[in-house]
Amino acid sequence: MQTILITGGAGFIGSHLTRLFVTKYPDYTIVNLDALTYAGNLNNLRDIENAPNYTFVKGDITDMKFLQDLFVQYQFTGVLHCAAESHVDRSITDPLAFVKTNVMGTATLLQVAKEAWKGDHDNKVFYHISTDEVYGSLGEEGFFYEDTAYDPRSPYSASKASSDHFVRAYYHTYKLPVKISNCSNNYGPYHFPEKLIPLSINNIINNTPLPVYGKGENVRDWLYVVDHVRAIDTIYHHGKIGETYNIGGHNEWKNLDLIVELCRQMDKKLGREAGTSEKLISFVTDRAGHDLRYAIDATKLKDELGWMPSLQFEEGLSNTIDWYLDNKAWLEDVVNGHYKAYYEEQYNAKA
C-alpha cells in the first residue's frame, strides 16, 4: 500500500505517469497536485478521473502551507515530482517564472517532505523528474552520461539544473531518499502544441507555416512518452536511492529531417499529394542560445534495471499523428483555450 503525490499530473508527461500508476497499481492511492497553469489540462485525464484510487487537487508547489497540510492529510509515502515550467522559449521571455516554479517549487516540496517524514525514510521515495538539457549542448560526437558535468545554457535548463542540485543536497545533507532521472525529448499524445512535434502536426492539419528555427540543423533525441513513464515506474520501484538515471531513445533527428518525415507521413494519412506539406516549411529566426545537440547514453538504466524503449520512432510518430487526427477536439480545445473551463465544470460544480 502506498500513497503517492504526483505533481504536475495534468501536464503532458505527468498525465501519462498518472494514468500508468492509477491503472497499474489499483492498491496505491494517487493524488495529482497541479496548479493548472496554461500547460495543465484535465482533459488529459478524462479516462481515469473517476477511478477510486485517484484524487485531483488544485494547488501550487511554491505554497508551503498548502503542501504541509496536504502531507498531513494524505501521509504520502512517495512523491513523483513532474510539475515545472517546461518550455525553453517561454524561459527566454520570462526567466523568473522558471526560477519560481522549478527552483523555489522544488526546494519547497523537498523541505515539506523532509519535515513530514521526520527522518523516518523506510519505504519512502522522493523522485525528481528532470531533463537532459542540464548537461548542456553536444557537438557532433559524444553522449551525455550520468556523470557528465552540468552545463545548462538556457534559463529553463539552468532552473532544472538548480532543482537537481537541491534534490542531491537534500540527499547528502538530510539523507532524504531521493531518485533523479534525466530524460531526452518526449513526444506522443497530449503534448501541448507549443512544442515542435504537436505544433507542426497542428499546423500541417491547418495548412499553416511550419516554423523551423535557424537552419533546422539542431539535433534532439526523441523518446515516446509512454516509454518514459515506463522507465520512471521501473526506477521508482527498483532504482537505487541517491542515484541518477539517464533515459533516452537512442533516436537522434535533425529538426529539419524530423519535420520532413512528419510531412511525409501526414501527406499519406491526409490523402494529400506527396510533397504538399513540406512546402509549408518556413525558416525563422533562431532561438537565442539554441543548444546544438542532445544525446543520452541510457546504458546504466538498461544494464541495471533492464529498461529499453519499446517503440521504434516511425511507429511512435505514426501513432502520435493518428492520435492527433482522432482527437481533433482535444487539439481545438487547447488552441482556442476552452480546456481551461473544464476544471470549473468538473470540480467546482461538484463542490
Binding mask 127-166 for ligand DAU (x = CB under 6 A): ----xxx---------------------------------
| Contact call for residue 40 and ligand NAD (CB under 6 A) | yes
List Cβ neighbours of 298 (8 Å cut-off, separation of 6 or more). Answer: 245, 246, 247, 248, 250, 307
Q: Does 185 bind ligand NAD (CB under 6 A)?
A: yes
Q: Which stretch binds ligand NAD (CB under 6 A): 7-15, 49-57, 139-147, 258-266?
A: 7-15
Q: Which does 36 bind (CB under 5 to 8 A by kind): ligand DAU, ligand NAD, none?
A: ligand NAD
Question: With binding defined as CB under 6 A, does residue 277 bind ligand DAU?
Answer: no
CA–CA separation, 45 vs 347, rounded Å?
13
Cell 529539419 locates to 256
11 binding ligand NAD? (CB under 6 A): yes
Nearer to ligand NAD, 226 or 277 (CB): 226
Q: All 3 cell numbers of residue 326?
A: 482522432
Is residue 185 part of the contact set for ligand DAU (CB under 6 A)? yes
Give the shortest CB-50-to-ligand DAU separation in angstroms. Answer: 30
Active site residue 133: yes
Whole-number Å distance between alpha carbons of 311 and 249: 9
Given the complex with ligand DAU, which of 293 and 340 has the nearer CB atom? 293
Clarify whether 132 is annotated catalytic.
yes
Residue 244 within binding range of ligand DAU, rule CB under 6 A: no
Going by DSSP bridges, is the β-strand pair 252-254/219-224 parallel, antiparallel, or unpaired? antiparallel
**Which among ligand DAU, ligand NAD, none contacts residue 82 (Cβ within 5 to 8 A by kind)?**
ligand NAD
CA–CA distances in Å: residue 50 to residues 8, 23, 46, 114, 281? 18, 12, 8, 31, 42
244 interacts with ligand NAD by CB under 6 A: no
Q: How far is residue 290 CA from its own chain's centroid?
A: 20
Catalytic residue (one of 156, 170, 187, 324) = 156
Residue type, 129: I
Which listed residue (7, 86, 108, 181) binds ligand DAU by CB under 6 A? 86
Among 22, 35, 167, 232, binds ligand NAD (CB under 6 A): 35
How far apart are the C-alpha atoms of 164 and 166, rounded to whole Å?
Answer: 5
The span of 50-58, 193-201, 315-323, 338-346 binding ligand DAU (CB under 6 A) equals 193-201
What character string, x for contact with ligand NAD (CB under 6 A) and - otherwise, covers 149-168? -----------x--------
Note if 156 is an active site residue: yes
Q: Does 186 bind ligand NAD (CB under 6 A)?
A: yes
Q: What are phi and psi of 210, to 5 degrees?
A: -105, 100
Q: Which stretch binds ligand DAU (CB under 6 A): 32-40, 82-90, 137-145, 264-272?
A: 82-90
Residues annotated catalytic, as ranges: 132-133, 156
Interface residue list for ligand NAD (CB under 6 A): 7-8, 10-14, 34-37, 39-40, 60-62, 82-84, 86, 101, 105, 129, 131, 160, 183, 185-186, 192
